Amino acid sequence: MARSMWQPNNVQWWMLAVVTLVIVCAWPPQDDRSLAMKIVNWAVDPAGTLPVLPDPLALGHGDDPDAVAEHDVQVQRYDEMYLKGGWTRKRLELKVARDPFTPATERQVLALIAVVTALLVWRTGARHT
């Protein structure tokens, strides 16, 4: 008699679906942020009104008074909001946040989560047959 192939139950399907969604959102591209970080960056400033701390002036631009004045205004605006503290400070930090690990490390951790989840779902399903 042929054995029927094991099929995940409803809970196991949902577990696989949720972990898959998390992995897809957290998977980082080579030189950019993951979808999850892009969502966080957007969620803290959907209108794009928060200032970003500008990079230091490039060599040679220090002689241009207009460039220096514009840079100083951007830094002053950022500093004013940063000194408010609390949620405003956290939003400024999250607006430019990057993934916590390098892409290679993050991919390895996510692959490990995927494999462990698949094994757990398969193992818990094997007990019920």
Closest-CA residue to 120 (of 49, 19, 1, 38): 19
Does residue 94 share a domain with residue 63? Answer: yes
For residue 16, the 8-state DSSP code is H
Whether 54 and 74 map to the same domain: the answer is yes
Whether the predicted model's global pTM rises above the 0.85 cut: no
| Residue 81 included in any domain | yes
- Total structural domains within the chain: 2
pLDDT tens-digit map of 74-111: 999 999 999 998 999 999 999 999 998 999 999 999 99
Rounded CA separation 95/81 (Å)? 13
**What's the maximum distance between 2 C-alpha atoms anywhere in the chain?**
87
User: pLDDT digits over 20-54, tens only?
Assistant: 999 999 999 988 999 999 999 999 999 989 999 88
Domain that holds residue 22: 7-34+101-129
Is there a single domain that holds both residue 51 and residue 93?
A: yes
Determine, yes or no, domain membership for 2: no
